[in-house]
C-alpha cells in the first residue's frame, strides 16, 4: 500500500489508514459481509484507471481513448460469465444495491408487486424494505422464515398465488440454509413472474459448487464482489441473453453514469483468482469453518438460529439470555472480535438494538483459520457473552490476548 505517497500529501489520512490496517491485522473479523482482498486486487483498484471516463459499453463508448479500458472490462465480463456459467454479465454496477436497482428498473414499473424476503428475517434493504427505493416505489409482499429459521416454500407459493407479483426475489443477507432456487423458479413460473436471485453473500460458494447455482433457473442474478468473492467493493448483474440489452440500458443510462473502471479492473483480477483451484479450496474451507464455529457456540450452550449453518453465516440468538445484539457486538469488539448486531426472526427488540449477532467465516478463512481455530473463536465468544453484564476488565484482557494470538498465528498483509 502506498502509505508513504499519501503521507507526503495528507499525513492525517495516511495515519488513519495505518491505524485501520493495524485494526484489521489485530482483530478477528467475523462480519459475514466483509473479507480481505489480495494485494493484487487492492493494487488494481488504485491505478491510473481512476482517471478515465468510459460511459457506455466496451467498444461503444461515449468517450474516446478507451481502447485499454475496453479490453480490461471485457476481461472482467468474460471471467464473470465463465466463473458462473452465465449467458450475459454487466460488471459496471457500483454496488449490489445498484445491481438490484437496475433489475427493478428493467423488470417492473413503480407500483408493481414484488416479493422478497423480509429484512428482519434475513432479507436485504433492496429486497423491499420500506426505507429503501424498493419499498418506497413498489408494492412489496414479504416472506420470512419459520421457527427453524428456514424458508417455508409452501407459504411463499401461497403468497405468490394470492398477490401475483411481477418479480420474485430470492437470496438474503442473513440466511444460513441452502436456498432451493428450483422451487423458487417453479413458483415464479406458476404466477408468471420474473425470478431474481441475489447471491451477494454466497457468490463464492455458488461459483465453486459449495452451494447450488441459481443460473439454470433465475432470469437475473445479482451479486456483490467484495464478500465471499474477495474482490473490490462493487456489483455485477448476470442474466439470460434475452434480457441483456435491457439490463445494460438499465445500468447505463438508467441508474448511473460513468463506470468505475479502476474498480472493474480489480473485479477482473478477483474473478481470475476465483477461477483458480486455490479458490475452490478456500470456499470449501469457508463452509467447514462456519460449521465448526456454529457447533462450538452450541457446545458452549448458546443458541444459533436454525441450529447451525449450511453456508458461511449464522446468527447468535440471545433471547433466552435476555441480552441484546448491540451489547454483545460491543463486548466482542473489546475481546478482539468484530461482528454486527442483527435481528432474529420475530425479534422483540428494534433493529437498532436486536436480539442477535450475525457471524461469518469468510474473512477469518482468508487469513488461514481452520476448524480448530474457529472452535477457539467460539469459546472466546461464549466467554465474552457470559461476562457481558459485568464488563470484567481482567477477563476481557485475557480474551483480547487469545484473539490476538490467533491473529498473530495468521498474519495479514505482512509480506
Q: What pLDDT sits at residue 391?
A: 79
Residues 187 and 145 in one domain: yes
Q: Does residue 246 sit within a domain?
A: yes
9 is catalytic: no
Closest to 153 (Cα-Cα) out of 184, 182, 174, 123: 184
Is 219 designated active site?
no
Domain identity same for 195 and 298: no
Q: Along the 415 residues of the chain, how does pLDDT read in single tens digits?
A: 588 999 999 999 999 999 999 999 999 999 999 999 999 999 999 999 999 999 999 999 999 999 999 999 999 999 999 999 999 999 999 999 999 999 999 999 999 999 999 998 999 999 999 999 999 999 999 999 998 899 999 999 999 999 999 999 999 999 999 999 999 999 999 999 999 999 999 999 999 999 999 999 999 999 999 999 999 999 999 999 999 999 999 999 999 999 999 999 999 999 999 999 999 999 999 999 999 999 999 999 999 999 999 999 999 999 999 999 999 999 999 999 999 999 999 899 999 999 999 999 999 999 999 999 999 999 999 999 999 998 789 999 999 999 999 999 999 998 7
Helices (H), 165-321: 181-191, 203-207, 244-249, 261-274, 277-299
3-state secondary structure of 309: coil
Residue 1: the pLDDT is 55
- Annotated catalytic residue: which of 227, 291, 341, 375? 227
Q: Are residues 255 and 383 in the same domain?
A: no
Asked whether residue 112 falls in the same domain as residue 145, the answer is: yes
Contact between 371 and 296 (Cβ < 8 Å): no
Out of 7, 233, 249, 326, pick the active-site residue. 233
CATH number of the domain encompassing residue 289 = 3.90.1150.10
Whether residue 184 sits in one domain with residue 218: yes
Q: Which of 315, 307, 285 is nearest to 175 (CA)?
A: 315
Q: Is 217 a catalytic residue?
A: no
State the total domains in the chain. Answer: 2
Position 16 in a domain: no
* Catalytic site residue from 29, 73, 118, 198: 198
d(CA 176, CA 238) in angstroms, rounded, equals 23
Query: pTM for the whole thing?
Result: 0.96
Dihedral of CA atoms 160, 140, 316, 358 in degrees, nearest 10, equals 120
Is the residue at 2 inside a domain? no
Do the domain assignments include residue 414?
no
Q: Is 233 a catalytic residue?
A: yes
**What is the extent of the structural domain holding 372?**
282-409
The catalytic position among 55, 150, 303, 392 is 55
E strand segments, 353-402 = 356-360
From the candidates 208, 224, 309, 366, which is the catalytic residue?
224
- Domain edge (last residue) among 220, 242, 274: 274
- DSSP conformation letters of 150-181: -B-HHHHHHHHHHH--SEEEE--SS--S---H
Catalytic residue among 34, 53, 87, 284: 53
* Residue 8 is assigned to a structural domain of this protein: no
Amino acid at each position: 500500500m502506498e502509505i508513504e505517497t499519501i503521507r507526503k500529501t495528507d499525513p492525517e489520512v495516511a495515519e488513519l489508514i495505518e491505524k485501520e490496517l493495524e485494526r484489521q491485522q489485530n482483530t478477528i473479523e467475523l462480519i459475514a459481509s466483509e473479507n480481505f482482498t489480495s494485494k493484487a486486487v487492492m493494487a488494481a483498484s488504485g491505478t491510473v484507471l481512476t482517471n478515465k471516463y468510459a460511459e457506455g459499453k466496451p467498444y461503444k463508448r461515449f468517450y474516446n481513448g478507451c481502447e485499454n479500458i475496453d479490453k480490461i472490462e471485457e476481461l472482467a465480463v468474460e471471467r464473470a460469465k465463465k466463473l458462473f456459467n452465465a449467458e450475459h454479465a454487466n460488471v459496471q454496477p457500483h454496488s449490489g444495491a445498484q445491481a438490484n436497482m437496475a433489475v427493478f428498473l428493467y423488470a417492473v414499473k413503480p407500483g408493481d408487486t414484488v416479493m422478497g424476503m423480509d429484512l428482519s428475517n434475513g432479507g436485504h434493504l433492496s429486497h423491499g424494505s420500506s426505507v429503501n427505493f424498493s419499498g418506497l416505489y413498489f408494492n412489496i409482499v414479504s416472506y420470512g422464515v419459520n421457527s427453524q429459521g428456514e424458508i417455508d416454500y409452501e407459504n411463499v407459493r401461497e403468497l405468490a398465488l394470492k398477490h401475483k407479483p411481477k418479480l420474485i426475489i430470492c437470496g438474503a443477507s442473513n440466511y444460513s440454509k441452502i436456498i432451493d432456487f428450483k422451487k423458487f423458479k417453479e413458483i415464479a413460473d406458476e404466477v408468471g413472474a420474473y425470478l431474481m436471485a441475489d447471491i451477494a453473500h454466497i457468490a463464492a460458494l455458488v461459483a465453486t459448487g459449495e452451494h447450488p447455482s441459481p443460473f439454470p433457473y433465475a432470469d437475473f442474478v445479482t451479486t456483490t464482489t467484495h464478500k465471499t468473492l474477495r474482490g473490490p467493493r462493487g456489483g455485477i448483474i448476470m442474466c439470460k441473453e434475452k434480457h441483456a440489452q435491457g439490463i445494460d440500458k438499465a445500468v447505463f443510462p438508467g441508474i448511473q453514469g460513468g463506470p468505475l473502471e479502476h474498480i472493474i479492473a480489480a473485479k477482473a483480477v478477483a474473478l481470475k483468482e476465483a477461477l483458480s483451484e486455490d479458490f475452490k479450496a478456500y470456499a470449501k474451507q469457508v463452509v467447514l469453518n462456519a460449521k465448526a464455529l456454529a457447533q462450538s457456540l452450541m457446545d458452549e450452550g448458546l443458541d444459533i438460529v436454525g441450529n447451525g449453518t449450511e453456508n458461511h453465516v449464522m446468527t447468535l440468538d440471545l433471547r433466552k439470555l435476555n441480552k441484546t445484539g448491540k451489547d454483545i457486538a460491543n463486548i466482542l469488539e473489546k475481546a478482539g472480535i468484530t461482528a454486527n448486531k442483527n435481528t432474529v426472526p420475530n425479534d422483540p427488540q428494534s433493529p437498532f438494538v436486536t436480539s442477535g449477532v450475525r457471524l461469518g467465516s469468510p474473512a477469518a478463512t482468508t487469513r488461514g483459520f481452520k476448524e480448530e481455530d474457529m472452535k477457539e473463536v467460539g469459546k472466546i465468544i461464549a466467554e465474552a457473552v457470559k461476562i457481558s453484564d459485568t464488563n470484567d476488565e481482567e477477563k476481557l484482557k485475557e480474551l483480547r490476548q487469545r484473539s490476538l494470538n490467533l491473529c498473530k498465528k495468521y498474519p495479514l498483509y505482512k509480506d
